[in-house]
Structure 1
Amino acid sequence: MSNIEKNEVTNGERVFRVFNILFFIVFTLLCIYPFYYLIINTISANDLSANGAINWLPKHIQFENYVQVFKLDGLGLAALVSVGRTVIGTALTVFASAFMGFMFTREKMWKRKFWYRFVIITMYFNAGLIPMFITMKNLGLTNSFWVYVLPGIVAPFNIILVKTYIESLPRSLEEAAELDGASTWQVFWQIILPSCTPILATVAIFSAVGQWNSFQDTLIYITDQKLYSLQYLLYQYINQASSLAAMVKNSGGGLNSVAAVATAQTPTSIRMTVSIVVVLPIMFIYPMFQRYFTKGIMLGAVKG
């Protein structure tokens, strides 16, 4: 009887695993296809792409779209701004989240519960756009690179994740270091920080993706074109795709061959190519942190 029950359970598990694998394969393909669709349309003939004739395989492969898009004014400087805000903003956010999360676990911290609640309450209340703009202007952060970095350093959600993760670590690690005469800073830097790699990688992913994809702060606080981010430039290019396509086309001189017609810029090619240029960097960075992500988010979300 036990063998029959065991076989029934085993067969059920096999059916579940097959169904589970097929489900996630289909789900993965559905997630990948939009990016694949963009890529094949950017390297196919633009006249076919504009007519919606490219759905599964590229046709008449060419890379002129990328050549022309990289010639657009301000793209290199905007990329530098986006990379700078992503690297600096992520580093400062990760450090602040780690240090504040650690300090909120220290019982001897002055008014620890008050300050923790003071930080967390900001998740539920927001002054609004106009007061925020006035604050940034009074602080001299409008038309400044630091408006991208400073407002996002203290992230309550990230602090909660790190604090919960640190509380799941053995308390004996800190106690042993303190018995050896280690200061609070030494405990944090030498004991806690190396032990928090998974959750800090998770926080880094959240922060980096948020920084890279952000464009609204440029729209609100920045008027200096030298400080435009890549995402804001994408926003502008998408809204001005028709005029940009005409500009790029006119700059090429007399185009009358079949090849020239196929590579002539269209609003569709501009939108898709710029989208790929902006999305690809973060897609390459994300897998580097993927192995830490699941462990970090699980341990950081549930104590113990």
Structure 2
Amino acid sequence: MTTASLTRERGHVPFTIVNCTLFALFALVCGYPFYYLIINSISANDLSALGDIRWLPRGLHLDNYGQVLDLQGLPQAALVSFARTVIGTAATVLASAYLGFMFTQPRLWKRSFWYRAVVITMYFNAGLIPVFIIMKTLGLTNSFWVYILPLVVQPFNIILVKTFVEAMPRELQEAAEMDGAGILSVFFRIYLPNMTPILATVAIFSAVTQWNSFQDTLLYITDQSLYTLQFLLYMYINQADSLAQAAQQSGGDLSGIASAATSQTATSIRTTVAVVVVLPILFVYPLFQRYFVKGIMLGAVKG
């Protein structure tokens, strides 16, 4: 190794140290809120209510989770959230893949017009009241499908898939068509199996959007059997004080008077419900992580 190479290597060391330190601090800032919720949900409720739990849990117990899981409507809301996430994500991924592929086909009638018609919806919206009237006219209010159908076509996802497909060799389609394959065969048998990175990226975006959405429930749903976990979280946070009082009184003579450490408080209700709602979606990203970076890069940059 030459002297110049050694000098360059030594010059990289301070940069690496500073870079790793900054990223470690950034990771701490991003991860601490989740850590804070977890340690407060498993710590003594009287201490968490006073704000004394900051770095380490104290008075460890898991009673909060047992009591929160007994809250009315939580299992049904979990089922609705899970169903809308799975069905909605599958529908969005398939629609994004198909439309992104079709918008690369020169033979598509008025291709530029339809593509621009889809993209322009990213910038213009009819507004809350007209959208509500449309949903009501279509019979989607108080319907499970109000969670699925409005989110199937996502312009941003279609753009990502279209750019990804354009980067794939055109010879794949030409060879398949020479063998007699139709457009659907080309899509399902040639392109779709090779779209895994970008489809995993779209799946992450869609799953997070579906799982975290609560405004559609607030606007379009009055049937309690169709409430989602996120909407219940919204309700429980707003009603945390009354829920805590109800939880304290629910034991009655069977368990005696609850201790201050395990008696539910508004803070314990908020933190525990938030953890229950947030944890499932945190497991989605690691499953798709190996595809995510490749998909977002290839889908966002052409050439």
| TM-score (normalised: structure 1) | 0.97
CA displacement 1:229-283 (0-9 Å, x = unmatched): 11000000000000000011111125776x7221000000000000000000000
Post-superposition offset of 1:5: 2.7
Q: Find the residue that maps to 1:243 and give its secondary structure.
A: helix
Q: Find the residue that maps to 1:160 and give its secondary structure.
A: helix
Distance 1:117 1:268 in 2: 48
Q: Find the residue that maps to 2:67 and give its secondary structure.
A: helix
* Alignment RMSD (CA, Å): 1.3
**Structure 1: stretches of 5+ with no match in the other structure:** none
Residue in 2 aligned with 1:133?
132
Distance 1:256 1:151 in 2: 50
Residue in 1 aligned with 2:245?
246
Post-superposition offset of 1:53: 1.1
Post-superposition offset of 1:26: 1.8
1:166 aligns with 2:165: yes
Q: Find the residue that maps to 2:59 and give its secondary structure.
A: coil
Distance 1:73 1:151 in 2: 29
Letter in 2 for 1:32: G
Letter in 1 for 2:89: T
CA displacement 1:146-176 (0-9 Å, x = unmatched): 0000000000000000000000001111111
CA displacement 1:92-116 (0-9 Å, x = unmatched): 0000000000000000111111110
Post-superposition offset of 1:25: 1.6
Residue in 2 aligned with 1:5?
4
Q: Find the residue that maps to 2:131 and give its secondary structure.
A: helix
CA displacement 1:9-67 (0-9 Å, x = unmatched): 21122222222122212211221111111111111110011111111111111111000
Residue in 1 aligned with 2:198?
199
Residue in 1 aligned with 2:73?
74
Q: Find the residue that maps to 2:252 and give its secondary structure.
A: coil
Distance 1:182 1:17 in 2: 52
Letter in 2 for 1:298: M
Post-superposition offset of 1:4: 3.3
1:127-276 to 2 correspondence within 5 Å?
127-253=126-252, 260-276=259-275
Letter in 2 for 1:96: A
Judge which range, 49-58 or 62-71, deviates more. 49-58
Residue in 2 aligned with 1:298?
297
1:25 aligns with 2:24: yes
Q: Find the residue that maps to 2:57 and give its secondary structure.
A: coil
Letter in 2 for 1:76: P
1:105-144 to 2 correspondence within 5 Å?
105-144=104-143
Distance 2:26 2:17 in 1: 14
Letter in 2 for 1:167: E
Distance 1:256 1:29 in 2: 41
Distance 2:28 2:275 in 1: 18
